[in-house]
């Protein structure tokens, strides 16, 4: 599936800021897509719970209006969803829906029953990572846009502090 970068997440331990995202290729209805390291834009990856649920679907609906704002700040948004959900979705939406994959989850340290939000800079270094439990405490879309702005305006060699998403704010 992807490379086994040494600094990638360990199963059960969510990948942390400062670590590099592993090179991942996930399936989509349009064929395989590389997830990270474009060199030109940051990547925001939203992993939903593996079983379709209404709060996760609602979060995707909340993200749709900010997809253009994220692009303005040189950030591509992808959502990783159960394969049957991706196949049934409107692929002309504001961001691609990629098939969930157990091996990719392990490499990122996302548990099989968990959701997570990861933001990596254009070089694949994780800037923010938030595990999302059964309470669906996703970061607010406005927080994601603000983090994308910070990344777009910052120098990768500078030590810019994280955006510190707070799940309790969601």
CA 121, CA 40: separation in Å to the nearest integer?
A: 9
Instruction: Record the tokens describing residue 124, joined without a space.
Output: 């694949």
Q: Find out whether 91 and 78 touch, Cβ atoms under 8 Å.
A: no
Residues in the chain: 170
pLDDT tens digits in sequence order for the chain, 170 residues long? 333 343 444 446 899 999 998 888 888 877 888 776 667 889 999 999 888 789 998 999 999 999 999 999 999 999 998 877 766 665 557 888 888 888 899 999 998 889 999 999 988 899 999 999 889 999 999 999 999 999 888 865 555 555 555 333 33
| pLDDT for the residue 35 | 74
Residue 8, by phi and psi: left (phi above 0), alpha (psi -120 to 50) or beta? Answer: beta
How far apart are alpha carbons 77 and 70 in whole angstroms? Answer: 7
Residue with tokens 């060199």: 39
Q: Which residues contact 20 (CB under 8 A, 6 or more apart)?
A: 5, 7, 8, 123, 124, 125, 126
Q: Give the pLDDT confidence score for residue 85 in this predicted structure.
A: 72
pLDDT at position 84: 72
Domains observed in the chain: 25-169 (3.40.30.10)
pTM over 0.85: no
């Amino acid at each position: 599936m992807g490379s086994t970068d040494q600094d990638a997440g360990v199963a059960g331990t969510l990948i942390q800021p400062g670590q590099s995202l592993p090179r991942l290729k996930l399936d989509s209805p349009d064929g395989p897509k590389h997830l990270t390291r474009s060199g030109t834009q940051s990547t925001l990856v939203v992993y939903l719970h593996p079983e379709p649920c209404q709060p996760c679907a609602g979060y995707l609906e909340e993200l749709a209006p900010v997809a253009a704002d994220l692009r303005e700040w040189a950030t591509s948004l992808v959502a990783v969803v159960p394969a049957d959900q991706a196949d049934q979705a409107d692929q002309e939406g504001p961001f691609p829906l990629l098939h969930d994959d157990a091996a990719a989850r392990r490499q990122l340290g996302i548990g099989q029953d968990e959701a997570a939000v990861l933001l990596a800079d254009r070089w694949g270094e994780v800037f923010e990572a938030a595990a999302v439990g059964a309470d669906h405490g996703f970061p607010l879309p406005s927080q994601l846009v603000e983090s994308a702005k910070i990344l777009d305006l910052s120098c990768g060699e500078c030590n810019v502090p994280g955006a510190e998403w707070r799940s309790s704010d969601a």
